[in-house]
């Protein structure tokens, strides 16, 4: 089915997805299940593409072919370098009036520059990063916050709502959502760094980590972040929050660049970033965030075998 026929058949715009990894797979799944004609390109996780095709998506051979068929393209990739490379492939083949929605965790200054460059070519850009976990996204219960013109956000709100039951316009220009995403991630990654040190100290003093979990659970500091972290610290569930240490390191690096750009102090983020950098240097980068407690355990007792997967 051609792009024009797909649009006519459903009454909905044709949606392209680039990046169907942990978060993007769930996003794309929800879009196609809720009736949007969907185009995808090959991903290193072949399982995701095959699943989406079974649900009704059409696989395109490359990004340029996808761009030629779509009214809107959603990006959910690792970071700013990947976004820039993909946008460069989209532009030559883009349909007039194309909108790109960047759901990656990217750098705000890169997003601002791309928005200006794309605008000169008649292409719109919104930044719409996500919060919550891959499971929430799969269930259509992610949170997204969106930077850009209000009328453009409202135009694409129905699409965003297929994977996010909370859509929050930032009220700011393109790039503002990516800035807020980095600040939000400092909260999550900062807390994770605190939990890591706490559980390592629990181990150091010979206390029961399950008792510590119960103490915090029944305090004002209980939250979803603590509970998912504790699933590894207490129950050894490494998949409790599937977000890698190396990605956390990337996000805090972006945050520090943003802070430096604005001349802001980075007292808390510096400590959390050094913890994650150390984990990457220790070969733990592909482990998930709840496993950063192993970094502190290794520092407290280099001879311990508790850091082994």
Instruction: Please give the full DSSP string across 99-163, using - where no structure is assigned.
Output: EEEE-S---HHHHHHHHHHHHTTT-EEEE--EES-HHHHHTT-EEEEEBS-HHHHHHHHHHHHHH
* Cα maximum dimension of the chain: 67
Helices (H), 205-292: 209-217, 224-233, 245-261, 267-281
212 backbone dihedrals φ, ψ, rounded to 5°: -60, -40
Pairing type for strands 15-18 and 38-41 reads: parallel
Instruction: Give the whole-angstrom CA distance, residue 279 versus residue 201.
Output: 18
Rounded Cα distance between 61 and 273, Å, is: 38
- C-alpha closest to that of 178 among 198, 134, 148: 148
Beta bridge partners, 102, equal: 75, 127
In this structure, are residues 143 and 130 in contact, taking their beta carbons and an 8 Å threshold?
A: yes
Q: Active-site residues: which are they?
A: 181
* Inter-residue contact 36 to 15 (CB < 8 Å): yes
For residue 143, the cross-strand partners are 131, 166
| Cβ–Cβ < 8 Å for 14, 7 | yes
Please provide the distance, in angstroms rounded to a whole number, between the alpha carbons at the two ends of the chain: 48
Q: Which helix (H) or strand (E) holds 38?
A: strand 38-41
Query: What is the Cα–Cα distance from 103 to 124, expressed in whole angstroms?
Result: 14
């Amino acid at each position: 089915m051609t792009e024009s026929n797909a649009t006519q058949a459903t009454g909905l715009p044709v949606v392209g997805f680039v990046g169907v990894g942990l978060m993007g797979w769930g996003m794309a799944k929800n879009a196609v299940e809720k009736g949007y004609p969907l185009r995808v390109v090959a991903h290193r996780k072949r399982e995701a593409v095959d699943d989406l095709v079974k649900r009704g998506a059409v696989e395109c051979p490359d990004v340029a072919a996808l761009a030629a068929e779509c009214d809107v393209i959603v990006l959910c990739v690792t970071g700013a370098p990947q976004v820039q490379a993909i946008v460069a492939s989209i532009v030559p083949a883009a349909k007039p009036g194309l909108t790109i929605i960047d759901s990656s965790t990217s750098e705000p200054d890169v997003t601002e520059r791309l928005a200006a460059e794309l605008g000169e070519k008649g292409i719109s850009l919104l930044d719409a990063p996500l919060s919550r976990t891959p499971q929430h996204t799969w269930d259509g219960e992610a949170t997204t916050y969106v930077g850009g013109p209000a009328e453009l956000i409202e135009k694409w709100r129905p699409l965003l709502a297929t994977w996010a039951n909370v859509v929050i316009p930032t009220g700011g220009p393109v790039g503002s959502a990516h800035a807020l995403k980095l600040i939000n991630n400092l909260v999550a990654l900062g807390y994770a760094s605190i939990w890591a040190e706490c559980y390592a100290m629990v181990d150091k003093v010979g206390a029961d980590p399950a008792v510590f979990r119960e103490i915090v659970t029944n305090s004002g500091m209980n939250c979803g972040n603590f509970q998912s972290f504790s699933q590894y610290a207490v129950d050894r569930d490494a998949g409790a929050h599937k977000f890698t240490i190396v990605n956390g390191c990337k996000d805090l690096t972006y945050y520090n660049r943003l802070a430096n750009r604005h001349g802001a102090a980075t007292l808390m983020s510096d400590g959390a970033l050094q913890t994650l950098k150390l984990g990457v240097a220790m070969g733990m980068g592909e482990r998930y965030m709840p496993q950063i407690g192993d970094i502190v355990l290794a520092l407290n007792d280099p001879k311990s075998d508790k850091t082994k997967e």
